[in-house]
Structure 1
Amino acid sequence: MAMHVYIATTSTGLTPPLIRLRPASATHPRILNHPTNLLFLVHNKESCRLFHLFSPIRSFAGSSGSVSTTTYKDIRKSLDKVEVFDLSGKTVPIIDLWRDRKAVVAFARHFGCVLCRKRADVLASKKDLMDAAGVALVLIAPGTVDQQAITFCEQTKFKGEVYADPTHSSFDALNFSYGVSTTFTPKAGMKIIKSYLEGYRQDWGLSFRENTRSKGGWQQGGILVAGPGISNISYLHKDKEAGDDPDVEDVLEACCS
């Protein structure tokens, strides 16, 4: 079975040990020298603001390559003490989600994110294949159970399991990308427009809850395929920017073949 991993790259040129990386894309030229102005509407309860974005727009994650078993053990070890909350409010060690089964674990930017809602929908559309292979579909996002996770489930009718991570502990442990420059990019902007045209919507109320605002909404996510067995990690994708979706066929190959 082919094994895939997506790990961060940075402009420093430093690479983690045991990981082969493809260089990140070049930074976007300054907007004043670019033929197209990029505009973003940032909305909250108090005001609407329109921002021009300009470089440097840097990508802190992305690239495909290979990873050794040792590195996967290191990833598992970093998650050893991480806990998330199920919809009843019970704490669950994250590694228990794949201890006795294989699971596709999608880490969403936050429960209100329009791009995450589309990704969740795409993954859920493949749930029949996952079910046939005995694979669980799981979504984890920063936020609280009562105010955000349950509302997300009610709004989206997501078919998988949903867990809340109010302290971002799993995102920090996996070293997912974070920052304004990984959120407001030309590609992310185009994906937001496309998602809206397809009928998906951002929930601004969920987007500005305290657990989301604590990191400014700049957190990125990813997808992990793991189990059965706490150290059995077969696939990891780290979003280099908002909406950096992996090929769903790669996820299915990792979890169902």
Structure 2
Amino acid sequence: MALRLTPAPPQTLQTTALRPLSLLFKNSHAPAPPPNSTNPKFGLTILTNTRTPRRLLARASSTSEFVPNIGDILGDISIFKASGDPVFFKHLWDQKQGVAVVALLRHFGCPCCWELASALKEAKPSFDTAGVKLVAVGVGTPNKARILADRLPFPADCLYADPDRKAYDVLGLYYGLGRTFFNPASVKVFSRFESLQKAVKNYTIEATPDDRSSVLQQGGMFVFKGKQLLHAWKDEGTGDHASLDDILGVCCKVPVE
């Protein structure tokens, strides 16, 4: 009687992915690979159908984990205006002394991102008074951005589309099924139920990116003065947004030169 051996399937995760950021973050040496790792460069190798393997990193809620020239790196990233015109990040605010809040939403079809966009719109007069440029970026194509801008509504001149998630990669924002649906940080959404309900009054699922893998992307919020990163927040899970009061407080403490 012949014994047939069936090889075990490779131990990979098809749903969770994290960014390779060794070139963008300080002290980001990869740990030793675990047993059966398929890539010695990664402590945890995770594969997806559309993205390259990425390495698990700690949350970056301070600027110390970013390389000093992160502003230059982000500045060379090209995204799209809601109108469809391409634009570089470095052309969105004064790269010498200008202060900007860069809010990266998850994707344009995320109800929690409609809530965040609504809060950003309400806070915009305060940012304007403080001389701060608001830059809101979402995952999806420009036509998806226009859906949010028209139906929420939201000022289209502050809204940008990053369909390839290039800025999200550069800033090391989280990505994956667990982060999107099962992270404990997402429970804070329930404390904002009324504001969420109000924000999605005119919501439509048509704003969701055609690339469905994009719905697993998490967002974050960053404060820059020129090219200098002053404050960094990475959402741990869906709805884990930065406090806009804290963000405005950071902006107001920026010394005037």
Hey, what does 1:222 align to over in structure 2? 220
Q: Does 1:110 align with 2:119?
A: no
Aligned pair in 2 of structure 1 residues 137, 80: CA closer, same or farther (>3 Å)?
A: closer
Q: How many residues align?
A: 197
Residues 1-257 of structure 1: matches in 2 within 5 Å?
17=26, 62=59, 64-65=61-62, 67=64, 71-73=67-69, 75-100=70-95, 101-146=98-143, 148-159=144-155, 161-185=158-182, 187=184, 190-193=187-190, 195=192, 197-198=194-195, 199=197, 200-201=199-200, 203-207=204-208, 209-211=209-211, 213-215=212-214, 217-227=215-225, 229=226, 231-257=227-253
Q: Deviations over 1:177-212 (max 9, x none)?
A: 0000101126466445555544233532222x314x
Match of 2:210, as an amino acid?
E
The question of whether the paired residues in 1 share the 8 Å contact of 2:107 and 2:140 is answered with yes
Q: Is the 8 A contact 1:84 1:93 kept in 2?
A: yes
Residue 158 of structure 1 aligns to which amino acid in structure 2?
F
Counterpart CA distance in 1 for 2:120 and 2:170 is: 23
- Following superposition, the deviation at residue 222 of structure 1 comes to 0.4
The separation in 2 between residues aligned to 1:65 and 1:76, in whole angstroms, is 15
* CA apart distance, 1:61: 5.6
Q: Deviations over 1:27-48 (max 9, x none)?
A: xxxxxxxxxxxxxxxxxxxxxx
C-alpha offsets along residues 7-61 of structure 1, whole Å, 9 cap, x if unaligned?
Answer: xxx9xxx9x5369xxxxxxxxxxxxxxxxxxxxxxxxxxxxxxxxxxxxxxx966
CA deviations on 1:119-177 (whole Å, 9 max, x unpaired) are 2222222222211111121210111112x011110011224600111111111111110
AA of the residue aligned to 2:217: Q
Partner of 1:48: none
Counterpart contact for 2:106–2:138, Cα < 8 Å: yes
Equivalent in the alignment of 2:42: none
Would the alpha carbon gap of residues 61 and 203 (structure 1) be closer, same or farther in structure 2, given more than 3 Å must change? farther
Matches of 2:205 and 2:58, distance apart in 1: 26
Q: What root-mean-square deviation, in Å, do the aligned CA atoms of Structure 1 and Structure 2 show?
A: 2.8
SS in 2 for 1:99: coil
2:45 maps to which residue? none
Assess, with a 3 A threshold, how the Cα gap between structure 1 residues 60 and 185 changes in structure 2: closer, same or farther: farther
> What CA distance in whole angstroms lies between the structure 2 residues aligned with 1:250 and 1:189?
19
TM-score, with structure 2 as normaliser: 0.67
More contact order relative to length (CA 8 Å, sep ≥ 6):
1
Q: 1:115, 1:191 within 8 Å by CA — same for their partners in 2?
A: no
Structure 1 counterpart of 2:91, one-letter code: D
Secondary structure in structure 1 of the residue aligned to 2:106: coil
The one-letter code matched in structure 1 to 2:134 is: L
Aligned in 2, Cα 1:17/1:87: closer, same or farther, shift over 3 Å?
closer
Unmatched tracts of structure 1, length 5 or more: 1-9, 20-58
Structure 2 residue ranges without an equivalent (≥5): 1-17, 29-55
CA contact (8 A) 2:145 2:207 kept: no
TM-score by length of 1: 0.67
Over 3 Å counting, the alpha-carbon distance change for 1:245 and 1:93 in structure 2 is same
Identical aligned residues as a percent: 31
